[in-house]
């Protein structure tokens, strides 16, 4: 076995350990539970769907009445416990992953999960 191959296997093993640790974490489990609850809550799902549809319409054609509808929907979403639980769980998970990225970046001396803006060209 070459040194490179052994190194790749060690990285893969540590990645598996990281994934197991992440998926066993309370933060990740709460996110999964909140996502499942959101999927099962037809009222919350309908609010989100309607909000996204109106957002898309707003991007194509600005309309003050549509803006008012979006604000009303946002208020309803803010009052919806299922949506709020999911938002909070998502924010906690994103924070955990950002902290993880910071630690990895510090260890390797460069930005680990850096976006290059997408696209190939």
Residue 2, in any domain of the structure? no
Looking at the 3D structure of the chain, how many domains does it have? 1
Task: State the pTM of this model.
Answer: 0.79
> CATH number for the domain including 29?
1.20.1500
| Maximum distance among all Cα pairs of the chain, rounded to whole angstroms | 67
- What's the half-sphere exposure (Cβ side, CA atoms, 13 Å) at 92? 16
| Among the listed residues 48, 118, 39, 38, the one whose alpha carbon sits nearest the alpha carbon of residue 81 | 38
**Per-residue pLDDT tens for 49-88?**
999 999 999 888 888 899 999 999 999 999 999 999 999 9
Residue 108, in any domain of the structure? no
Residue 113, in any domain of the structure? no
Cβ-based neighbours of 89, under 8 Å, separated by 6 or more:
27, 30, 31, 33, 34, 35
Q: Which domain holds residue 53?
A: 9-97
Task: Kindly report the average pLDDT of the chain as a whole number.
Answer: 90
What CA–CA distance (Å, rounded) separates 14 from 86? 29
């Amino acid at each position: 076995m070459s040194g490179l191959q052994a190194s790749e296997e060690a990285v893969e093993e540590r990645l598996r350990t990281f994934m197991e640790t992440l998926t066993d974490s309370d933060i990740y489990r709460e996110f999964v539970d909140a996502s499942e609850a959101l999927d099962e809550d037809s009222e919350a799902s309908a609010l989100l769907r309607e909000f996204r549809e109106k957002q898309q319409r707003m991007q194509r054609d600005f309309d003050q009445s549509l803006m008012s509808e979006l604000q009303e929907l946002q208020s309803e979403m803010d009052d919806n416990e299922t949506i709020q639980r999911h938002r909070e769980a998502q924010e906690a998970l994103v924070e955990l992953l950002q902290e993880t990225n910071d630690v990895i970046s510090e260890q390797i001396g460069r930005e680990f999960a850096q976006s290059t803006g997408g696209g190939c060209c």
